[in-house]
Amino acid sequence: MNLPEKIHHFIHSQQSKTIELLQRLVQEESIRGNESSAQAIVIEKCRELKLDLDIWEIERLNLQNHPFFRCDRSEFEGNPNVVATLKGSGGGRSMILNGHIDVVPEGDPKDWQGDPFSGRVSEGKLYGRGSTDMKGGNVALLLAIEAIISTGIKLKGDVIFQSVIEEESGGTGTLAALLRGYKADAAIIPEPTNMKLFPKQQGSMWFRIKVKGKSAHGGTRYEGINAIEKAMTVISSLRELENKRNEKIDDPLYQSIPIPVPINIGRIECGKWPSSVPDLAIIEGRVGVAPHETLEEVETDVEKWLKDLKEQDEWFEDYPVDLEWFGGRWQPGNLNRDHELMNTIKSAYKDIMKSEPIVEASPWGTDGGILSKGANIPVVVFGPGTTEVAHDSNEYIELEKVFQSAEIIAATLVSWCGIDT
């Protein structure tokens, strides 16, 4: 039995154990501030694999002056970052395998068919919040490492597995690992790409816009200026900006993505009383950043556009909107599609899947930008989940794709890190 066959045989012999591990992880409700119990399971698995472990709690003071740091979480006590290293023999290239353990809230439980954190398996799918984004990907990373160890392969380069917190709100966990000294010659992040390869990742930023009105009694609403109506003008203008920004993007990797860099309105707060004209509306949302852009360029673009609202409505001459950039910020990533890392993982994909991989740009942000912008580490995003069900009710992952992605990642590690013969 040759080396690829050994890896394939091992991975598929571990199906039941792998499903059990993923079930256990999904059953831990590792939403923001509650990551510790899921991390404990990761730590247990890494100890079983005899990896060199580094477990630490993030300290805000060590990060808050870094330009990439934007986090409203005051403390991280009790919810550690985890890095586990498979040491190579030396002389090979290193690889970071980066996954986040935090998940978004489950939303309304009534929208789920059963417990949102059940981990139930049905017809080849495992259901539960975080199954596709991205605990299934994390388990694929661990299975790939286990396949390397169990088949007796001795890599030359180090493999650095990272299970980080705080990805969903800006990437603090990955930034903390980077500043702790964890760097490598390349990185793979198994976000839910549906087995596509993403060499380019969209960045994004959160914004808050305060729109002024003038209060009045609802019975004489004509004596006031309704902040909701003025907010509708702002939202309509942002749609125009979205169209304008996306018309400029001609990257072929975005051909199948209807809106490469969306401006999403995620939250509106307005009014205190049904019989009053509201005098303040607060709009919160997210603006996408193209791989070739910087966050600062997009900030300037949006700020200038909103200043020109007065050309549409004279109200904004005397009462301009108040724009604030707050919360999560994800750096974009922009790897050449012909980079050696891309060629290595494409070759592994073709050998295992017997087909050419689909190569696209990611429609969302990842921690990849922190690694590429912060340390010049080439990053490919590749994972078994599907974007369509991430953050949605009845989230699931196809289990066969977990095994397939683990096999592809293991083969990539062999080629990239080199084998000590």
Only one residue has tokens 């050309």, namely 311
- Say if CB 215 and CB 276 are below 8 A apart: yes
Residues whose CB falls within 8 Å of the CB of residue 370, separated by 6 or more in sequence, listed in order:
68, 171, 174, 175, 178, 331
- Say if CB 385 and CB 131 are below 8 A apart: yes
d(CA 8, CA 4): 6
Q: Which SS3 state, helix, strand or coil, does residue 400 take?
A: helix
Only one residue has tokens 């590690």, namely 413
In the set 146, 158, 166, 167, the catalytic residue is 167
Q: For this structure, is 279 an active site residue?
A: no
Q: List residues bridging with 214 in a β-sheet.
A: 225
Torsion of CA 36, 40, 42, 44, to 10 degrees: 170
In the set 35, 102, 133, 407, the catalytic residue is 102
Only one residue has tokens 């080439």, namely 378
- Say if CB 143 and CB 14 are below 8 A apart: yes
Query: Taking the mean position of all CA atoms in its chain, how far away is CA 317?
Result: 39
Residue 317 vs residues 97, 212, 307, 309, 320: alpha-carbon distances, Å: 51, 12, 9, 8, 6
Torsion of CA 399, 404, 410, 411, to 10 degrees: 180
Q: For this structure, is 308 an active site residue?
A: no
**Omega into 195 within 30° of 0, i.e. cis?**
no
Q: Which residues are catalytic?
A: 102, 167
